[in-house]
Each structure stands twice: as structure tokens, then as C-alpha cells.
Amino acid sequence: MNPRSLLERYNIQPKKSLGQNFLHDPGVLDKIAAAAELTPADAVLEIGPGTGALTERLAAAAGRVVAVETDARLQPLLAERLASCPHVEVVYADILAVDVPALMGPAPYIVVANLPYYITSAILRHLLEAPRRPRRLVLTVQQEVAERIMAAPGDLSLLAVSVQFYGQPRTVMHIKPAAFWPRPDVDSAVLRIDVYDRPPVDVPDERAFFRVVRAGFSQKRKQLRNALGAGLGLGGEAAAALLTRAGVDPRRRAETMTLAEWAALARAAAEGGL
């Protein structure tokens, strides 16, 4: 049954405030489930099960599925649809308020999600900055966001650096609006992020690394000496000296920096007691 008919049966109207666009194309749903490469030994965290179409596919492949849904109106629909799946647990909560490692337990887990576009960045931070991160994420996001995450030096953003620090992203497929109901106004993309066991660059610690990166992007259109000078409270001359010690031209801008250069800058800042 398509999501419109299914929701009408339960007298549920999609909420724009929750960013609800329900994916219903069977071929797309199959490809998303396949991209997760699930086995019966795997535990899966699904964010936003919606009408349960993807949940059923995840349940057919994985040994355990925990689906976190913020809209409690969907409870009777999901209870009926997933009644034959005893290894599926649906939790009605805001994912940003959930202690994900505690919910998923000590075993490794995989995330599969059709993310509301307006909180994609916040959810990514919540998952990737957790004490115990997922080992893989397969995410449906706005295509523009996918392109930002996949960007190379020269067009980097804080989001791109944050994701690429923790894992290797790649695009699985693009999705047209017709695959959803209601139709979104933009194209979407499915991203797979394979999370590293350890970051690919040497940093003093994650907090110190991101303190420097956030300062660098705090005034993206300015040269790094000015952005860092303001963001770290150093002033332009001290920031220029710090950048020079790290081997970075103070006239560079944040979007041009590689992960290795950000790491060198974080190490220089730590050595300088910042």
C-alpha cells in the first residue's frame, strides 16, 4: 500500500514541521537496504521508520532492528505492520535526545535513516561524536547536503570536515522527488559513510581538533589569520604565527584546508598551550 493510502487509513496527515516525506519507491528501498550490507549478526538503528516500508526490509536482513520515531501518531500503524517482526523494537523519541550507545548496547551497530533535511547536520554530529560510533551509516539526505559532505578541499565546509574526519563517505544513488510522498521540493541522495576505527589524521584529541576547525570556519569568507584570530581570541598576528608554525599560509581560507592541514594546525595549537 502506498504511504498516502496507508496514512489516510490511520487518519494521519504528514507534518511539515517534522520534515515528513515518506519514501515509497520499492526499487529505491531495496537499494538502500542492500547498501547497508546487513547480515543476521547485525544490529541496526533506523532513524525515522515512518510507515515501516524500509523497516520491513531491514528486519528481513538483520538480526536486530531498533527504530526511533519522533511521531507517536504512527504507533498503531507500525505496531500492525511490524507485528510479525519480534526482533524489531520501535522507540518513540527524538533521536537527538536518545543516548544511542546505551540504546544499542555494547555490540557494533549500523545506522540506516531517511533524515529530515532540517536536522541532518545535528543528527550526524549526535551519531559521529558519540562515545561509541556506528560502524556504518546509510543515509538519505538532501542532494545538496550530500554534495557538501562529499566536497574536496577548495569547497569544504565544517560539515564536510566533521564527516570526513570520522569516516569515508560515498554516494550510493540519487533519488528524484517522485519517490516520496509528499514530494519534497529538492532531489535527494543516499550516502554511505564507513566509519574509521580511528581518525585518518593525528590529532591531540578530538575536542582540540574541532575547536580549531570551528574557529577557522567561524568567518569563512575571511583569511584564516583573521578567522582564527577572532575564533580563538588570539588576534591576527598571533594567529598568523600559529599558522606559519603549522606550515599553513595565513592568507588561506578555511574551505581550502585538507584534513592533514587542520590536524597540523590543531597540533601546533596544542603545543602552544591553546
Cβ atoms of 267 and 204 closer than 8 Å: yes
| Whole-number pLDDT of residue 220 | 78
| Whole-number pLDDT of residue 198 | 93
Mean per-residue pLDDT, 256-263: 97
Element (H, E) at 134: none
| Whole-number pLDDT of residue 166 | 98
pLDDT at 1 over 80: no
The pLDDT tens digits for 113-146 are 998 888 999 999 999 999 999 999 999 999 999 9
Tell me the pTM: 0.94
d(CA 239, CA 225): 5
| Whole-number pLDDT of residue 273 | 84
Q: What does the CA dihedral 205, 211, 214, 218 come to, rounded to 10 degrees? A: -160
Cβ atoms of 65 and 44 closer than 8 Å: yes
Task: List phi, psi (to 5°) of 59.
Answer: -65, -30
The pLDDT tens digits for 167-225 are 999 999 999 999 999 999 999 999 999 999 999 999 989 999 999 999 999 987 899 99
| Whole-number pLDDT of residue 129 | 95
| Whole-number pLDDT of residue 117 | 80
pLDDT at 61 over 90: yes
Query: How far lies 248's CA from each of 107, 198, 232, 262, in Å?
Result: 41, 24, 17, 9
Task: List phi, psi (to 5°) of 128.
Answer: -80, -25
Mean per-residue pLDDT, 61-78: 97
The pLDDT tens digits for 7-50 are 999 999 999 888 899 999 999 999 999 999 999 999 999 999 99
The pLDDT tens digits for 231-258 are 999 999 999 999 999 999 999 999 999 9
